[in-house]
């Protein structure tokens, strides 16, 4: 990892850049595939599955028999671990349920707000080198709690046309209604437009590579909502000499192994700590099965020495990390002042992996600085807030004259008339 000492604030934007490809470089590919899928449906899905996943399929919907057979190939130990995680995720997201809000703003004017589930949602689950069955729990569990009717899942098949058994088992356990062996841009396009096989959805959730991220953003142009722009994974750690060097190195590597375009950053006021962590990363990385991926990600990553906690905090808020770990004696300072982060992990014994799997919080989080404006996935992500109002004769008499005056001031005579006609009827 590159060590940067006391960077000047004017250099922070360049220092904190993510290792991502310019959107313009891949947007043309995404647009082309979207247009193809929109026009040719399943035929295009099959074509791009053959091109990108190296498998020619006749049918890309996972059958009930296929799902049930896959469940037999998941070990009891893993099933028990998934059950623990699912329980904690359910517990945390059920606690986010809110009640109807009702208020009489003035006498005779009753206003209330209720939440309704999004009826049709699409979940994208990356496959490839790391089949993320944990993400199914993070998305399908709150979707079910919210009451979503149709929960569609797309995930890429392997080169033999199969889906990882753990993905199929978890999807069945968590109430996914249909599963399709489709990945990448074509999966997002399929859920955006709908095909002969894939239902059109109202909102798409889930992480993915840069092509998937751009595809999700393009989906919004066709009236489909998305959870957030979620691209390659990232982690920032704020630590001082109270931190355990082995722990910190392991946390950095846990995110670095996600993909070659992942980024991890360690910020500290202690040069001694930064140097020790750098050496420990070299020790630990050689033992990892995904060490080549981790090494490339480490090449995108940085050790940053700051003058003070105040400067460190300012830099962290400027970066807006997806994951933030705080391992400092002065942890309250960081907790009180963090403004931009997807999810925060506090203390030496709170690894980021806990949030990825089983603590209960959601791991689908904004990346690339979008934590400055976006929240991570939560129960409300699968719901819409709807407002209602009912006005009595007395209520309209109370607020009608104000409405008339404002409508006339804006030059909207029909708006005024809609009130005046009623008021005149009440007077007569």
The residues annotated with a catalytic role in the active site are 322-323
CB-count burial class (<10 Å; 0-12, 13-18, 19+) for 158: middle
- Strand-pair partners of 267: 238, 304
The distance from CA 399 to its chain's CA centroid, rounded to whole angstroms, is 43
Taking the C-alpha atoms of residue 61 and residue 67, their distance in angstroms, rounded to an integer, is 11
Instruction: Spell out the residues 6+ positions from residue 39 whose beta carbon is closer than 8 angstroms to its own.
Output: none
Q: How many CA atoms lie within 13 A of 306 on its CB side?
A: 20
> Going by DSSP bridges, is the β-strand pair 109-117/383-391 parallel, antiparallel, or unpaired?
antiparallel
Taking the C-alpha atoms of residue 254 and residue 263, their distance in angstroms, rounded to an integer, is 11
Taking the C-alpha atoms of residue 420 and residue 336, their distance in angstroms, rounded to an integer, is 52
Taking the C-alpha atoms of residue 415 and residue 400, their distance in angstroms, rounded to an integer, is 11
């Amino acid at each position: 990892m590159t060590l940067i000492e006391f960077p000047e604030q004017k250099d922070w934007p360049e220092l904190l850049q993510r290792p991502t490809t310019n959107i313009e470089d891949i947007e043309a590919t995404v647009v082309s595939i979207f247009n193809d899928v929109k026009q040719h449906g399943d035929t295009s899905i099959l074509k791009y599955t053959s091109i990108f996943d190296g498998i020619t399929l006749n049918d890309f919907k996972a059958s009930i028999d296929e799902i049930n057979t896959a469940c037999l190939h998941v070990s009891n130990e893993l099933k028990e671990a998934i059950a623990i995680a699912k329980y904690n995720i359910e517990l945390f997201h059920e606690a986010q349920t809110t009640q109807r809000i009702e208020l009489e703003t003035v006498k005779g004017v009753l206003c209330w707000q209720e939440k309704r589930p999004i009826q049709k949602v699409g979940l994208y689950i990356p496959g490839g080198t790391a089949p993320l069955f944990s993400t199914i729990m993070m998305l399908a569990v709150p979707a079910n709690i919210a009451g979503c009717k149709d929960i569609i899942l797309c995930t890429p098949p392997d080169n033999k046309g199969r889906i990882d058994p753990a993905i199929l088992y978890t999807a069945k356990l968590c109430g996914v209604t249909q599963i399709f062996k489709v990945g990448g841009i074509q999966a997002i396009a399929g859920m955006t437009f709908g095909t002969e096989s894939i239902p059109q959805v109202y909102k798409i959730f889930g992480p993915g590579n840069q092509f998937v991220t751009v595809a999700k953003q393009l989906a919004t142009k066709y009236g489909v909502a998305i959870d957030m722009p979620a691209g390659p994974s990232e982690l920032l750690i704020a630590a001082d000499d109270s931190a355990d060097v082995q722990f910190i190195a392991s946390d950095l590597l846990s995110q670095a192994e996600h993909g070659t375009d992942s980024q991890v950053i360690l910020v500290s006021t202690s040069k001694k700590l930064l140097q020790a962590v750098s050496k420990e990363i070299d020790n630990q990385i050689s033992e990892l099965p995904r060490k080549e991926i981790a090494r490339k990600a480490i090449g995108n990553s940085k050790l940053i020495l700051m003058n003070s906690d105040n400067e460190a905090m300012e830099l962290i808020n400027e970066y807006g990390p997806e994951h933030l770990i705080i391992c400092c004696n002065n942890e309250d300072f960081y907790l009180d002042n963090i403004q931009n982060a997807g999810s925060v992990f506090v203390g030496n014994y709170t690894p980021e992996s806990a949030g990825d799997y089983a603590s209960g919080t959601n791991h689908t989080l904004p990346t690339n600085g979008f934590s400055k404006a976006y929240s991570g996935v939560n129960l409300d992500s699968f719901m819409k807030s709807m407002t209602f109002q009912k006005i009595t004769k007395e209520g309209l008499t109370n607020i009608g004259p104000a409405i008339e005056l404002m409508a006339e001031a804006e030059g909207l005579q029909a708006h005024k008339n809609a009130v005046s006609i009623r008021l005149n009827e009440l007077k007569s």
